[in-house]
């Protein structure tokens, strides 16, 4: 069962400090009469008062901004004090101080397989802070280590859900969809660490690369895919241009072409438009049908 944080109001330490000073002065003033009287009763009472004063002094503590104190009384959770400054509470309370400031987790680079089974190197930076101090203290053994382990597990799972890169439209990839991948990583991390009372404020990939053993081969593959994609777009554009040229010629009746001449014209235009080198046309000065 998850533990929930309970707010705890404690006293300001300054009035209690003045009382402690007055008590100390009074104890010093009463010390001489008690010992000079030689009566055991007065000496014992004075000693008990000193012990009580020393115990009360143990109730003082300080809290900085964005720091909280989890108060535990003999093993039972009593509440959490978030008020910064000089404070005083029951001296028998155990005061466990927790920082609620934002923290950075710079993960080490790990090697995982992407959705296509390719080994990749990946790392992330996670910004997080403690939100529920009771959960962070009592529901997990060590919340710092818990966040670190769960972050690595979430990153491994995320990397296996996306390909490293893709040329397909509307397909998310680790390299091409950084923002979407970061949002997915933050959401999965939040689901994993919520039981520790932790809030994930941001999660971003800090390193992404193919593993060294396949980096060269995958670079050639990327280049080949890029060339194929570029050629496909060039051919689509060239076909459109040829189609438009034939339509314009027929529409304005500039020249009448039979099927054979149309095929020759289409062939020449496609060679010019799809070639990877500059074309050098030959000017035909005679008849088109000679």
Q: Which tens digit of pLDDT belongs to each residue from 169-188?
A: 788 888 888 899 999 999 99
Distance CA 64, CA 99 (A): 9
Range of the domain at 266: 215-274
Q: Are residues 113 and 201 in the same domain?
A: yes
What is the number of domains present in the chain?
A: 3
Residue 130 lies in a domain: yes
Least confident interval from 7-11, 161-165, 205-209, 262-266: 262-266
Least confident interval from 103-107, 181-185, 279-283: 279-283
Q: Are residues 142 and 193 in the same domain?
A: yes
Strands 110-113 and 76-81 turn out to be unpaired
pLDDT > 70? residue 36: no
Q: Are residues 122 and 75 in the same domain?
A: no
Distance CA 31, CA 33 (A): 6
Residue 284 lies in a domain: no
pLDDT, mean of residues 127-131: 95
The three-point CA angle 276-282-286 to 5° equals 150
Residue 286 lies in a domain: no
pLDDT > 70? residue 15: yes
* Confidence (pTM): 0.70
Q: Are residues 204 and 255 in the same domain?
A: no
Percent share of the chain, pLDDT over 70: 75
Distance CA 98, CA 102 (A): 12
């Amino acid at each position: 069962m998850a533990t929930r944080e309970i707010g705890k109001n404690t006293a300001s330490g300054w009035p209690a400090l003045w009382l402690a000073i007055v008590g100390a002065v009074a104890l010093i003033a009463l010390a001489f009469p008690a010992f000079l009287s030689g009566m055991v009763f007065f000496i014992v009472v004075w000693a008990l008062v000193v012990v009580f004063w020393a115990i009360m002094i143990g109730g003082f503590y300080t809290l900085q901004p964005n720091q909280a104190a989890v108060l535990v009384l003999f093993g039972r959770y009593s509440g959490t004090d978030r008020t910064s400054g000089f404070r005083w509470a029951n001296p028998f309370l155990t005061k466990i101080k927790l920082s609620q400031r934002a923290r950075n987790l710079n993960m080490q680079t790990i090697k995982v397989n992407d959705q296509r089974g390719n080994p990749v190197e990946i790392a992330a930076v996670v910004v997080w802070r403690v939100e529920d101090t009771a959960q962070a203290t009592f529901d997990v053994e060590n919340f710092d280590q818990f966040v670190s382990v769960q972050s690595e597990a979430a990153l491994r799972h995320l990397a296996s859900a996306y390909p490293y890169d893709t040329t397909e439209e509307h397909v998310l990839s680790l390299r091409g969809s950084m923002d979407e991948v970061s949002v997915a990583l933050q959401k999965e991390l939040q689901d994993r660490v919520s039981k520790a009372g932790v809030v994930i404020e941001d999660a971003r990939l800090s390193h992404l690369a193919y593993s060294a053993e396949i980096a060269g081969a995958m670079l050639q593959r990327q280049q080949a895919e890029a060339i194929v994609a570029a050629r496909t777009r060039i051919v689509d554009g060239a076909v459109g241009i040829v189609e438009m040229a034939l339509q314009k010629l027929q529409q304005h009746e500039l020249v009448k072409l039979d099927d054979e001449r149309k095929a020759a014209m289409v062939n020449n235009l496609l060679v010019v438009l799809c070639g990877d080198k500059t074309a050098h046309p030959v000017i035909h000065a005679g008849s088109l049908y000679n």
